[in-house]
Every structure is written in structure tokens, then in C-alpha cells.
Amino acid sequence: MSKPDYTIEQEAHAQGYLRVAGVDEVGRGPLAGPVTAAAVVLDPAQIPVGLNDSKKLTAKKRQALLEQLLERADISVAHATVEEIDQHNILRASHIAMVRALEGLKVPPDFALIDGNMIPRGLSLPSRAVVKGDALSLSIAAASIAAKIRRDQVMWDLAQQFPGYGWETNAGYPTKAHTDALRNLGVTPHHRRSFKPVHNILYQE
């Protein structure tokens, strides 16, 4: 199985873009919590070995890679809130988080590689959408790792305040334990009211 490489970034470099940011988000599917995006600009001379789509790595490997990235790359992580998800929609909210992540980089990038098939609305930066980007681009793979670890931390913290929903292990995704708790314990302020399972509980006849 092929692993992500630096080809797409090199194509951007060849066009004169020096600082190329990979951008990915995590948390579009959960019933609770924010949607989280990361932007990462790698140093081509010191890319950590083993970078891959976060879903293909163990938690231990992800953490080890993030520690290397924090030393060698420019990383920014940002969120869109539950309120923003409900106000707009999950796609638009994930794009808001992506733009925020790009704006949070220490040095502004010249070009952005966006995971998916859409460029976020309002992004003025030259950019390219890359379908399945976390499996193709090392920068996007790095962003997927940073976003997942940060969002998992957020959900672990929320789980301490709202025990019983299993967020420390399910990260807000609709597991059986989570949906059972939603019915038995009710809806928290961190649940996405626009998502059908939550909406149905709130407005059941």
C-alpha cells in the first residue's frame, strides 16, 4: 500500500511557492464536540520518518510523530465550535476551522493543500484541494495527526466534566455506548443539536 510522499508539495515549490501548508480536519462525524483542523508546514530537510494518515497509525506512533513535528515544523490547530456547527453546517464549520488553522501558523504560508474536494470559502491563499490528501501528501498527513491528537484531548477533557458518554474513548462518535447514554442521561451543551440523533431526542414527540 502506497504511503504519502512530498510530490505534491514539490510541485507547488516548482511553481514558486516556498511555504506549503497541508491542512486536514477531524471530527465531522461525531455527535458532540468541536470540529478540529490543523495546518502544518514541513521543513523538507527534516521530515519525520513514518508520517502517514492518522487513521493508519497507533496512538503511540501518532504521539511520537507529533513530538517530532512540534520540533521541526510550523503547526497550528484550530476549532469550530458546536454552536458554529449548528449555525452553519458541519462542512462549512470544518472549513472555518481550516481557515483559522492556516491563520494561526507562525509564518504565513504561500500555498495550501486542503484535504478533500473543496477549497474553503473565504480562503484568499493560493490553494489546491487534494482528495484523500492524508494518504497522498506528507504535509496533509502531518496535519491529520496534529488535528486528531488535539481533538482527542479536547474530548477527553470534556469527558471528565460530563462522564457517562464515553467521550474519552469514542471522541464523541455515535457508538452504542454514546447513543445509549444520550437517551439515558440526556443532551449536554456539547452535543450538536443539528445532528439527527441529538435533534430527535430533543424534539421527540
CA distances from 18 to 40, 79, 190 (A): 13, 26, 39
Q: Look at residue 99 and give its three-state secondary structure.
A: helix
Mean pLDDT of 29-46: 98
Tell me, what's the pLDDT at 128? 98
The Cα–Cα gap between 194 and 197 comes to 9
Q: Look at residue 36 and give its three-state secondary structure.
A: strand
Tell me, what's the pLDDT at 1? 58
Please report which residue ranges of 73-164 form alpha helices under DSSP H: 82-87, 90-103, 138-161
CATH number where 34 lies: 3.30.420.10
Query: Is 103 labelled a binding residue?
Result: no
Amino acid identity for residue 4 in this structure: P
Band of residue 122 on the pLDDT scale cut at 50, 70, 90: confident
Contact 5, 140 (CB under 8 A): no
Is residue 195 domain-resident? no
Strand order, beta sheet including 35-41: 74-80, 35-41, 20-26, 111-115, 127-130
Is residue 85 domain-resident? yes
Contact 131, 45 (CB under 8 A): no
The Cα–Cα gap between 103 and 38 comes to 10
Is residue 100 domain-resident? yes
Is residue 26 domain-resident? yes
The Cα–Cα gap between 81 and 192 comes to 9
Beta bridge partners of 166: none
Is residue 193 domain-resident? no
Is residue 70 domain-resident? yes
- Domain with 94, as residue range(s), is 7-152
Is residue 199 domain-resident? no
Of 189, 200, 162, nearest to 34 by C-alpha is 189
Tell me, what's the pLDDT at 196? 94
Is residue 12 domain-resident? yes
Neighbours of 171 (CB within 10 A): 24
**Domains of the chain: total:** 1
What's the CA angle centered on 124, arms 112 and 4, to 5 degrees?
A: 10
Query: Is 157 labelled a binding residue?
Result: no
Beta bridge partners of 128: 113
Tell me, what's the pLDDT at 2? 76
Whether residue 50 has pLDDT greater than 50: yes
Whether residue 205 has pLDDT greater than 80: no
Whether residue 111 has pLDDT greater than 90: yes
Q: Look at residue 49 and give its three-state secondary structure.
A: coil
Query: Is 24 labelled a binding residue?
Result: yes
Q: Look at residue 18 and give its three-state secondary structure.
A: coil
